Copies of this chain bind each other. A is one copy, B any other.
Amino acid sequence: MAGRFERTGTVAFDGAGPVLLSSASVVGPNEGNGPLGGYFDLVLPDELWGESSWERTERRMLREGARLAVEKAGLRNEDMAFFVAGDLLDQIVSANFTAHALSVPFLGVYAACATSAESLGLAALLAERTGGYALCATASHHNTAERQYRFPVELGVQRRPTAQWTATAAAAFVVGAVGEGVRITHFTIGRVMDLGRKDPNDMGSAMAPAAADTIHRHLRATGRSAADYDLILTGDLGKVGQPITRELLAKEGVDLEKTRFEDSGLLLYDENKLDVHAGGSGAGASAAVLSSLLHRMRAKEFRRLLLVATGALLSPTTVQQGDSIPAVAHAVALEVGDEA
């Protein structure tokens, strides 16, 4: 019964849908100052945005991203049949509070920084299955994540060279069963990989095996080669994880020479303005970068894009208990046809 696609964790969508009807992004000032700054929908003036806590800022960014995505699709909240979301905070509080504000049937998901692709893939499944509109969204905030996973930013702890910079970013997408725009053609669900890495200051090394495994399984499931994609966008492997992933894929015979192989963590910041060390990261990073690139898909600059969102499933508790850091990567394949 379980066919070739299923064993590789890949759902192949048929024909005309599901379709990305809209996207919207809300980012912090550092992200707004980066090379993609002009392509985000809203850039905050500062990290707090007038709220009493960064946690409140983060959830307001998620809510505002969702609001903008729905508005840009020419729809209303009440038109949304499902909301799929997650974030980096314990109990995915940003998603929960946003779901309450929206009052749309809600599935909470957690895959650390791979949440963007998990929520997008599930939204596509739900839209296809029911014909309804599915809204999905993710967010991260530099200061809430640092406080929860490493050190409160107020302490000014020196960061290690392999450390990544959690982005202050939220993005949301409206997925419809049919319509014009960028089609979602495949959803490849990742396996959890764990090669025994234990350093919360080096997530790139922990995530690389998961990224390589998911890309490899995706290509095998679809019978495609890397060259069939104009852009393979990982997020977020950074400077440390990206070359490891490239090397692991080369060993599996995956040739990345004929495609653009970019990492959202490396596209997000201008290093001359902000020293992010090994690159950006965060559940909102890959989602916001994807959102900022969609106009280039609509312009047919990229006809096929593979988003490979990578998540280090880091737990401060289990790291303190001596456990290693497992990681996962989920992939969503996007395509724009001649008709779009």
State whether the Cβ of A190 lies closer than 8 Å to any Cβ in chain B: yes
Complex interface: chain B residues within 8 A of A272 (CB): none
Output the residue of A91, A313, A316, A323 with the most chain B CB within 10 A: A91
How far is B56's CA from A107's CA once the two chains are assembled, in angstroms? 27
Output the residue of A6, A111, A314, A315 with the most chain B CB within 10 A: A6
Contact A81 B2 (CB under 8 A): yes
State whether the Cβ of A171 lies closer than 8 Å to any Cβ in chain B: no
Query: Given A110-B92, A125-B125, A81 and B6 touching (CB < 8 A)?
Result: yes
State whether the Cβ of A93 lies closer than 8 Å to any Cβ in chain B: yes
Kindly list 5 other residue pairs between chains A and B, CB separation below 8 angstroms, not including A1-B133, A103-B191: A6-B130, A90-B315, A96-B313, A107-B111, A125-B125
State whether the Cβ of A29 lies closer than 8 Å to any Cβ in chain B: no
State whether the Cβ of A241 lies closer than 8 Å to any Cβ in chain B: no
Contact A321 B53 (CB under 8 A): yes
State whether the Cβ of A194 lies closer than 8 Å to any Cβ in chain B: yes
State whether the Cβ of A193 lies closer than 8 Å to any Cβ in chain B: yes
The contact size tier of chain A is 35 or more
Which B-chain residue is minimally distant from A103 (CB atoms)? B191
State whether the Cβ of A42 lies closer than 8 Å to any Cβ in chain B: no
Closest Cβ of chain B to A67, distance in Å, is 16
Query: Given A192-B96, A315-B93, A5 and B111 touching (CB < 8 A)?
Result: no
Contact A106 B317 (CB under 8 A): no
Contact B109 A110 (CB under 8 A): yes
From DSSP, what is the main secondary structure of chain A's interface residues? mixed
Give A113-142 interface residues, CB cut-off 8 Å to B: 118, 122, 125-126, 129-133
Contact B318 A11 (CB under 8 A): no
State whether the Cβ of A105 lies closer than 8 Å to any Cβ in chain B: yes
State whether the Cβ of A177 lies closer than 8 Å to any Cβ in chain B: yes
Query: Given A89-B317, A90-B315, A5 and B55 touching (CB < 8 A)?
Result: no
Q: Write out, one digit per residue, whether chain A residues 301-340 have a CB within 8 A of any chain B CB (1) or not (0).
A: 0000000000001111110010100101000000000000
State whether the Cβ of A237 lies closer than 8 Å to any Cβ in chain B: no
Can you report 20 residue pairs joining A to B where beta carbons are below 8 Å apart?
A: A6-B82, A6-B132, A9-B81, A53-B321, A55-B317, A90-B316, A90-B317, A91-B313, A91-B315, A92-B110, A100-B194, A104-B191, A106-B189, A108-B111, A108-B118, A108-B313, A108-B328, A109-B110, A125-B125, A148-B317
Instruction: Point out the residue from B108, B112, B125, B326 that lies within 8 Å of A129, measured CB to CB.
Output: B125
How far is B92's CA from A92's CA once the two chains are assembled, in angstroms? 10
Instruction: Point out the residue from B3, B132, B191, B328 that lies within 8 Å of A132, measured CB to CB.
Output: B3
Contact A106 B315 (CB under 8 A): no
